[in-house]
Amino acid sequence: MIDRLYEIVAKNIELDLDSVSEETSAFDIAGWDSVKHMNLVSDLEQEYGVRFEDNELPALTVVSAIRNSLERHGVLIQTE
C-alpha cells in the first residue's frame, strides 16, 4: 500500500513517482501549495476511508507524517 500512498502524493503534487519518498516534504517542493495540499488530503480521505480533523491538516506536509496519521486512523501501510 505504500506505493499507492506515493502514487497519490505524486499525482496531487505533480511529481514523478520515483521522486517521492518518506522524506518528501512541502517545505522542499515549491509546487506543493495550499490548493494541491487540500486536493491531496481529499484524495487520501477517499482512498483510505478516513476523515482528517482540521487540526491534523498542517502536519500532513511530509509523506512520513501522512503515513503516521493514516496509521493513527487505523490504516496499516507497510514501508518498503
Q: Model confidence over 12-59: pLDDT tens digits?
A: 999 999 999 999 999 999 999 999 999 999 999 999 999 999 999 999
pLDDT digits (tens, 9 = 90+) for 60-78: 999 999 999 999 999 987 7
Angstrom distance (rounded) from CA 66 to CA 70: 6
CA distance 47 to 42: 9
Q: What is the rounded CA–CA span in Å between residue 52 and residue 31?
A: 22
Question: pTM for this structure?
Answer: 0.91
The answer to whether the beta carbons of residues 13 and 40 sit under 8 Å apart is yes
Which cell numbers hold the place of 60? 500532513
Could you tell me the residue ranges of all domains in the chain? 2-72
- CATH fold, domain 2-72, is 1.10.1200
